[in-house]
A and B are shown apart, each in its own frame.
Chain A
Amino acid sequence: MPDIHWGYGFPIGGVAATRVSDGVVSPGGVGFDINCGTRLLRTDLTEAEVRPKIDKLLDELYTSIPSGLGSSGKIIVSQKELKEVMTRGSQWALEKGFGQADDIEATEESGCLKGADPDMVSAHARKRGIPQLGTLGSGNHFLEVEAVDEIYNREAAAAMGVYEVGQVLALIHTGSRGFGHQVCTDYLKVLAEAVQKYGINLPDRQLACAPVDSAEGRNYLAAMACAANFAWANRQFIAHWTRESFSRVFGKSSQEMGMRQVYDVAHNIAKIEEHRIGGRKETLCVHRKGATRAFPPGHPDVPAMYRKIGQPVIIPGDMGRYSYVAVGTETAMEQTFGSTCHGAGRMMSRGAAKRSLKGADIARQLAEKGITVKTCSLSGLAEEASAAYKDVADVVEVTHRAGISCNVFKSRPIGVIKG
């Protein structure tokens, strides 16, 4: 993908598809932050209504959504409830009163990846996950209040409930937190042994893998599904608190503000999918690490409301510029295993960004551009500054012209919560 950058083992911004019958599955092809992804909410509010109250809104969001390093969640689940989170994802969170019923249809896999088996998840991962459920996290994770900036495809935008420039959106970017990190750590160890057992030669131990159709491969996929579901529940909680915060500030219910979920999509995941290879239908394990599923119009896995336009793809940029929403295409099915880019892609190391940019200056520069930021880490702000990233406009121009996703609209941030 054009947002590709150097990672560890597999690059970030890559898609690796392997045949289930004789291929391998690799945790490194998914990454540590299993089901890191984005969730976009639309509103009927306009920028003119939100701007005067942006400070108050960010304060509310910052108070109601735990963020930053070492923060713990407001949701305390028991081991038994954690099992429900692992197997049922968003759907469990909805049943507990978080969110609205139509969120589920507007989520990849309806927020619940099948095949999750909690017995494949270590005690370490559970213990690390429990306090972090319902937290945004740190690093590049964020919650943005955005305004629609430009609409390229009115029909597709309208299907997503986006009609005019200035309309306000909320974008959430987070994943499975320490739970997913530990699942990946645990299975790298398991698969390092599998590599020897199956006689696989690797140039880098981070590429550890096992046949998809082996006990080790199946166990990883079952644990990965638990982490994916944890992430979907996590975004379900955060979206709920986002709606509550908007309600408190604007004195209206989320229904009155039209706060519907546009879509929720993963960009670090492995999925078992059917694809046509050389005219033949094959069952593949598609690893997307820093890549987003981009299924075309008519695909059965695309929810009914989007079946005519294709699956929405959410492509966040850096916090100082803009983000894009696109739709999946038939070309993506033919050329990239139904995948497109996931974001801007880093260009500058965190250390270099911190040395050349100061968090306080970044906050001031963003304020001059009309973007208010709230963060508990000014050094973290410098690490995530625009200059550290490629311009996402260049990235989506490539994916659009290559035809692997079609741009629908662009939005720009007006307020940002950085973890």
Chain B
Amino acid sequence: MPVPKDFETLEHTADTGIIAYGKDLKQAFANAARGLFSLIAELESVNEVLERDIEVTAADRDSLLVAWLNELIYIFDTENILFKRFDITRLSQHHLVARGYGERVVRARHKLKTGVKAATYHMLAVEQEYGWRLQVLFDI
């Protein structure tokens, strides 16, 4: 069965989540990250003019997903980088190495949408069913 889409948003009373898909876990993690940035800004307006290496470690695979997204939120807050594409080069239960492509925020040109405070563990899901399906709720 083909993977239906890269990601979709998940409605929640106070906050918003994403469901990301991938034929393998690397692709699903990359799509979850793109889903996160699609909440923050209109990705069409973002160019790939810089690249940045990102590495995270965590106690288990579920925590790794939360840690990965929280690291990206941290990079956005401290370096103002909007990412639109990711290559996950290494991914194990506890360790992720990736390269993100995007650009720094230009307030006049980029359409910013929502601030994201953090990825939460609430309703977190990492499931394999045909491909992979990841579900994360953000505090926004």
Contacts and interface: CB of A to CB of B under 8 A. Distances in A.
Given A32-B139, A351-B9, 9 more contacts: A70-B112, A128-B77, A138-B114, A139-B140, A178-B117, A189-B63, A192-B121, A206-B122, A379-B113
Interface stretch (B12-20, B28-36, B46-54, B85-93): B12-20
A89 interface: no
7 contacts: A6-B14, A8-B122, A8-B123, A137-B115, A178-B77, A181-B117, A205-B62
Interface in B101-140: 105, 107, 112-115, 117-118, 120-124, 137, 139-140
Interface core residue of B58, B80, B112 (most chain A CB under 10 Å): B112
A70 B80 contact: yes
Interface of A: 5-9, 12, 31-33, 68-70, 124, 127-128, 131-132, 137-139, 178, 181-182, 184-185, 188-189, 192-193, 204-206, 208, 346-352, 377, 379-380, 383
A386 B124 CA distance: 30
A347 B13 contact: yes
The 10 closest A-B pairs by CB, nearest first: A8-B122, A205-B121, A138-B115, A206-B122, A8-B120, A181-B117, A349-B11, A32-B117, A206-B121, A6-B13
Nearest to B11: A349
Contact of A188 (B105, B107, B121, B140): B121
B16 A185 contact: no
A80 B83 CA distance: 32
A120 B129 CA distance: 41
Nearest to A290: B14
Contacts of A204: 121-122
B114 A350 contact: yes
Given A8-B120, A208-B121, A377 B112 contact: yes
B126 to A, nearest CB: 12
Contacts of A8: 15, 120-123, 137, 139
Interface in B35-79: 40, 58-59, 62-63, 67, 70, 73-74, 77-78
Contacts of B11: 349, 351-352
A31 B115 CA distance: 16
A70 B13 contact: no
Contacts of B73: 181
Contact of A70 (B58, B59, B105, B118): B105
B113 to A, nearest CB: 6
B14 A128 contact: no
A278 to B, nearest CB: 33
Contacts of B14: 5-7, 12, 346, 349
Contact of A182 (B74, B80, B120): B74
Contacts of B74: 124, 128, 182
A71 to B, nearest CB: 8
Interface of B: 9, 11-16, 40, 58-59, 62-63, 67, 70, 73-74, 77-78, 80, 105, 107, 112-115, 117-118, 120-124, 137, 139-140
Contacts of A206: 120-122
B59 to A, nearest CB: 7
A288 B105 CA distance: 35
A127 B78 contact: yes
Contacts of B115: 69, 137-139
A257 to B, nearest CB: 33
B119 to A, nearest CB: 8
A207 to B, nearest CB: 9
B102 to A, nearest CB: 14
A131 B74 CA distance: 12
Contacts of B12: 6, 349
Interface core residue of B11, B80, B105, B121 (most chain A CB under 10 Å): B121
Contact of A9 (B9, B40, B58, B120): B120
A137 B77 CA distance: 12
Interface core residue of A139, A182, A350 (most chain B CB under 10 Å): A350
Contacts of A181: 73, 117-118, 139
Given A6-B12, A192-B59, A379-B113, A69 B118 contact: no
Interface core residue of B11, B13, B118, B123 (most chain A CB under 10 Å): B13
A8 B14 CA distance: 9
Contacts of A12: 14
